[in-house]
Amino acid sequence: MEEFLRRIADPQQTDPQTARRQAVLRAVREYAPGKEVSDTLAQLPPDLAPLLS
């Protein structure tokens, strides 16, 4: 897992922890129903918003 995160983090010039957060948030957006996603994202700290772009 760490090797995978290192590989996806390098092109984005980010660290593995940020890459992990991005992966989780993107999975939530992809697989959760729309209303659930918006409710969940509204409860997250504002510093995580850039990870969704």
DSSP state string for 3-52: HHHHHHHTTTT--HHHHHHHHHHHHHHHHS-HHHHHHHHHTS-GGGGGGG
Q: What is the mean pLDDT of residues 33-47?
A: 84
Above 70 in pLDDT, residue 29?
A: yes
Instruction: For the chain, give every domain's residue range.
Output: 2-52
Predicted local distance difference test score (pLDDT) of residue 15: 78
The model's confidence at residue 10, banded by pLDDT at 50, 70 and 90, is low
pLDDT reported for residue 36: 86
Q: Average pLDDT over the chain, rounded to whole?
A: 77
- Please give the C-alpha separations between residue 13 and each of 8, 22, 26, 34, 46, in angstroms, as whole numbers: 9, 13, 18, 30, 21
User: 33 falls in which pLDDT band (50, 70, 90)?
Assistant: confident
**What is the average pLDDT across 44-50?**
80
